[in-house]
Amino acid sequence: MNGSWTNIFPYFAGAFKLIVLSIGAYFAIKWHFDEERRVREAEGVVFDKPSFMKKLAMMIALPVILIILVILVIYATKWFYD
């Protein structure tokens, strides 16, 4: 094939699908944790707030993991189609 958009579409679609599913999974997990927290707070259980270092680690780790997954999908798709 020549250098048309059909050569790069599988890479774009795979990366886009991975990003969308990852964001959806994140919000699904977050909703379940928030729902459990709401139920436990209604029962009177007290939660400790996460420290600044834990929040910072999560803010750094999540984008890094997503970037690594996107790169892996791109290379796996390229390997599969070649």
For 28-66, write each residue's pLDDT tens digit. 999 998 998 888 888 887 767 778 888 888 889 988 998
From 80, 64, 69, select the one nearest 20 (Cα to Cα).
69
From 58, 80, 72, select the one nearest 15 (Cα to Cα).
72
CA distance 68 to 74: 10
pTM: 0.50
44 versus 5: the higher-pLDDT residue is 44
CA distance 11 to 66: 15
